[in-house]
Structure 1
Amino acid sequence: MGEVVVKNFTFGDGTPRICVPLIGRTEDEIRSHANLIRDELDSLDTRYENFPELKVAVIEWRADFFEPLADLDRTKRVLEMLREYFPDRLILFTFRSEEQGGELRHDRVGSNLEPIMSFVIRSGLIDMVDIECTHGNYKIARATTGAHQMGVTVIMSYHDFEKTPHDDEMIEKIRDMEILGGDILKIAVMPSNEFDTRRMMDINKRMVSESYKPIAIIAMGEKGTASRFKCKETGCCMTFATVGQESAPGQMELLDLVALLRNQ
């Protein structure tokens, strides 16, 4: 597996990087959540100052929750706010489509989806962007090329909130995302049992040796908990934890995740 360096953080070097989602429907809600996250980050940094690998690397703005997303001035204000709150972390911009389990309704943004993505990528205010592999190859290529031209790292993602697909399907998706230009390849699926979770962890471990990109395969929900912290075993490059609000089923509280990672 290859490594991807984004500012002071390396993905794919054997250390799972922690990402905390930030959620809010209004600017005030986002500011409130940012304050909460900032306080917890400062507390953790002090507690684990001798363990830099436990430092939260990424703040993911789940922009699909933001009601006035199509208002580019307001979207830019939020990005500037996040830069102010988290100058020492990476900012990941994500708007998750309804089809992939998100809040982004097309009736709210209409045909503005691509212009919003392009505006954010060109803003100079983000370090990483999530691009869903279900958008169609032409749109994916256009967004990925634009991101790379601006020095923005692409997390290419696929989500299934209903089931865990067959192994061959998951492996094919990873290889497709690799070809489509993703810098970090992420898959999150819903296991029916612990066997499904184990399958996903084994696929992550296998693809780490076969792919030249960092990989994060996550099993969601309570049955998938092990996949979120046994990252050194599987080679999973990135894991998600919540502060106050979860953005996907089964996300652990940040304090709990850090404690588990510390003991791995």
Structure 2
Amino acid sequence: MSELKVRDFVFGDGTPRICVPLMGRTEEDILNHANLIRNEIDRLDAMYKDNPELRIAVIEWRSDFYEHLSDTKKLADMLKKLRDIFADRLLLFTFRSEEQGGELRNDRVGANLEPVMKTAIGSGCIDIVDIEVTCGNYKIVRATTAAHSEGVTVLMSYHDTRKTPHDEEVIDKLRNMEILGGDILKIAVTPKNEFDTRRIMDLNRRMVSESYKPIVLIAMGEKGVKSRFKCKETGSCLTFATVGQESAPGQLEAADLIALLKNQ
């Protein structure tokens, strides 16, 4: 697996980067949560000043919760405000469909995807954009090409909120993501038992040696918690933690996750 540098942060170097989701429906809710995260970043940076690799690196704005998402002017203004708050961190823009575990209904995604992505990618405010591999190859290629032309890294994602697919299905999806131009390849699954979690962790370890791109495989929910903090063992390049609000089941609080990573 090759390393990928995005500003001051490296993905795929053996240490998982920590990502915290930013949630909220209204501007007030979003900014309140952003300031809460900012305060926690500063507190944890001071606490772990001798371990800079453990700092929160990425803020994922879950824009699918935003009430004015379809208003591109308000969307651009919000991105600027978030960029100012997190000037020293990476800003990941995520527009999650309901099918993939998000807030938006599928019929809204089709209509809103292109103008929303165009606004976010062209804003100059984001470092990484999440592109769902389920949205269709034509839209994927258009969005990926636009992102790369603006110097924006593409995190290509797939979420299975019902089960853990067979290994070969996961491998096929990862290879397809790589072909379609993903820079970071992310698959999150839902384990039914401990065996599923071990299987997805073993597969992460295997694919790190076979893929040219940084990979993150996540087992969601309580049964998959181990996959979120055993990242050094599996080679996963990214792990998600919470500050106040979780965006997916099984996410640990950032402070707890950092403590676990430090002791590995």
Shorter-normalised TM range: over 0.9
1:198 partner amino acid: R
**1:111 has 2:111 as partner:** yes
What is the CA distance between 1:112 and its match in structure 2?
Answer: 2.7
User: Aligned ranges for residues 185-204 of structure 1 at < 5 Å?
Assistant: 185-204=185-204
Equivalence for 1:69: 69
User: Aligned ranges for residues 214-253 of structure 1 at < 5 Å?
Assistant: 214-253=214-253
Judge conservation of contact 1:229–1:239 (CA < 8 Å) in 2.
yes
Per the alignment, in what secondary structure is the counterpart of residue 200 of structure 1? helix
What is the CA distance between 1:231 and its match in structure 2?
Answer: 0.6
Q: Which runs of 5+ in 1 are unaligned?
A: none
TM-score w.r.t. length of structure 1: 0.98
Per the alignment, in what secondary structure is the counterpart of residue 74 of structure 2? helix
Per the alignment, in what secondary structure is the counterpart of residue 114 of structure 2? helix
% identical aligned pairs? 71
Judge conservation of contact 1:69–1:109 (CA < 8 Å) in 2.
no
**1:21 has 2:13 as partner:** no
What is the CA distance between 1:109 and its match in structure 2?
Answer: 6.1
Equivalence for 2:79: 79
Equivalence for 1:132: 132
Equivalence for 2:181: 181
Equivalence for 2:58: 58
Distance 1:12 1:44 in 2: 23
Residues 110 and 176 of structure 1, relative CA distance in 2, 3 Å threshold: closer
User: Aligned ranges for residues 85-104 of structure 1 at < 5 Å?
Assistant: 85-104=85-104
Equivalence for 1:164: 164
Equivalence for 2:48: 48
Per the alignment, in what secondary structure is the counterpart of residue 134 of structure 1? helix
Distance 2:106 2:210 in 1: 37
Distance 2:167 2:93 in 1: 29
Distance 2:190 2:126 in 1: 29
What is the CA distance between 1:73 and its match in structure 2?
Answer: 1.2
Per the alignment, in what secondary structure is the counterpart of residue 99 of structure 1? coil
Judge conservation of contact 1:183–1:214 (CA < 8 Å) in 2.
yes
Judge conservation of contact 2:72–2:115 (CA < 8 Å) in 1.
no
Judge conservation of contact 1:120–1:126 (CA < 8 Å) in 2.
yes
Per the alignment, in what secondary structure is the counterpart of residue 218 of structure 1? strand
Per the alignment, in what secondary structure is the counterpart of residue 129 of structure 2? strand
Deviation digits for residues 60-91 of structure 1 (CA, Å, limit 9, x no counterpart): 00000001100111111110111111111000
Deviation digits for residues 12-61 of structure 1 (CA, Å, limit 9, x no counterpart): 01010000000010100001001110111000000000001101110000
